[in-house]
Structure 1
C-alpha cells in the first residue's frame, strides 16, 4: 500500500500529546536515552494500515549511542513533538549514516517515494493560505480526532537520484518539500554531519515565513519500493544560533 510520510505524521500529531518535549529548543538527544520505549520525548510514528514497521533500536557505533533503523518493505518512524516559534533563524543539526540507497527509489515518483534516511519537520497549518476544500477537510478531521492537523513540512532526505541541494515537491503533496542533503551511494557507510537553517529552507521552499514548529521526526522506509534499507541516526539538535 502506498503511504507517504506526510500521512503518517498527520495521523500521529492528530492523535494527541503522549510525549511532549520540554519547553526548550532542543529535542531529546539519542545519546542520552535509556530506551526508545516509554515517555522519553520520542514516540513511534506508525500507521495502522501498514502492517510492516521499520525497526528502531539503540545501538553503540564508534563509542556513541545512536539509533539504528532497519526497513524491509516497511514504513514507520520516530517523532518528537515541539511547540516553537522559529523566529529569524533556527538550526537543525544531525549526523546520519546509510548502508545503501534504494535502486528503485525516485523522489519524483509516488512508487519511488522511499528513502534510506529522512528527517521530517512539520509546521502549523495556516488557514488563511489554504483553499476552501482544504479548510473543510481539516475541519472534518479535527472534529473526528479533536486535534488540528499540521500544515506544510520540510523533508530532508538522503536521496537516491535527486541531485544534492535540489528541492522538489513531494509526489503526493505540494505541502511537503523534499530537500536532498545527501544523494547517491558515494558516502554510504560513512557518518555525515548536516546542518540546516530551517527558516531559510522554508523561505526557499515555500516563498514565505514559516509558522510555528510542531514536530521533528526520523524515518527509514521502503514500503513503496519493497526494498530493504539500513541507516543510523546520531543526535538531532534543534537550537537557535
Structure 2
C-alpha cells in the first residue's frame, strides 16, 4: 500500500494543474482588428469554439485577459483545418499566408495596468511587448522559431503544424518558449489573438479552434 501511495503522489506531482486552468470563451469580449485596404475574414464565435473562414482575406480577432490570468504560463487547445493555403515563407512581409496563428501577448505589469483599455494595435506596438505566435502553416520545419517581419524583436513565430488539412491538439509551455524566444522570463499575459491570412496567395482557409484553456 505504501508503494501505491508513493506512486500516486509522484504522478500527481508531475501532472499539469488542471484545477488552475481557465477556459477561454469565444464570445462578446473578442474584437476584430481589420487592416487598411484589405478585406477581412469571417469569424464565428461559438463559446467553446471559433470558426474561421479566410477567402483571399486577412484580419485578426483578439481579446484582453483579466488580471487573474496574467500569471498563466501554459495553454492547450484543439484546432482543425478543412481547407489550407499553400506553403509560404513566414519570415518575410508579403506572401506570408498561413492557416491560423494563435498569439499570446505579454507586457510588464506596470505597462499592463496602463494598457487595459487600449486596443490590440497599441498592445502589439508597445516597445515592451513580447508576442509568441503559434502557427499552422508555412514552408518550415515543425518547432522552428522565426523572427516576425512585422513585430521585429517583439515577436516570434513558432511552427506547430505545416500546411495541409487535419485536426490536432496542442499543449504549449509559454514560459519555456518565451525564454527561448527572448532570453527572459515572461511577464503579464495580457491578451490573446487569432488570425488567418490568405490574401497574398488568393486561396481559402476553413478552420476552427476549440477547447482553449490557459493554465
Q: What is the TM-score with the length of structure 2 in the denominator?
A: 0.73
Identify which of 96, 121, 131 aligns with 1:113. 96
Gaps of 5+ in 2: 1-19, 111-117
Q: CA 1:146/1:160 → structure 2, altered by over 3 Å: closer, same or farther? A: closer
Q: Alpha carbon RMSD of aligned pairs, Å? A: 3.0
- Is 2:141 the counterpart of 1:163? yes
1:216 CA displacement: 0.7
- 1:204-238: CA deviations, max 9, x gaps? 11111112111011111223333321111112111
Gaps of 5+ in 1: 1-23, 31-35, 128-141
Q: For residues 112 and 53 of structure 1, what CA distance do their matches in structure 2 show?
A: 17
User: In the aligned structure 2, how far is the partner of 1:95 from the partner of 1:106?
Assistant: 24
1:214 paired residue number: 190
Q: Equivalents in 2 of 1:228, 1:204: separation in Å?
A: 33
- The structure 1 residue matched to 2:177, chosen from 192, 198, 201, is 201
TM-score normalised by the chain length of structure 1: 0.66
The structure that is strand-richer by fraction is: 2
Tell me: CA distance 1:103–1:214, structure 2 relative to 1, closer, same or farther (3 Å): same
Q: In structure 2, do the counterparts of structure 1 residues 168 and 73 end up closer, same or farther at CA, with 3 Å as the change threshold?
A: same
Partner of 2:58: 75
| Residues 114 and 222 in structure 1, CA contact (< 8 A), matched pair in contact too | yes
Alpha carbons 1:104, 1:225 under 8 Å: kept = no
Match of 1:98 among 62, 81, 86: 81
Match of 1:41 among 10, 29, 33: 29
Alignment CA distance shift 1:158-1:207 (3 Å): same
Question: How many residue pairs end up in the alignment?
Answer: 182
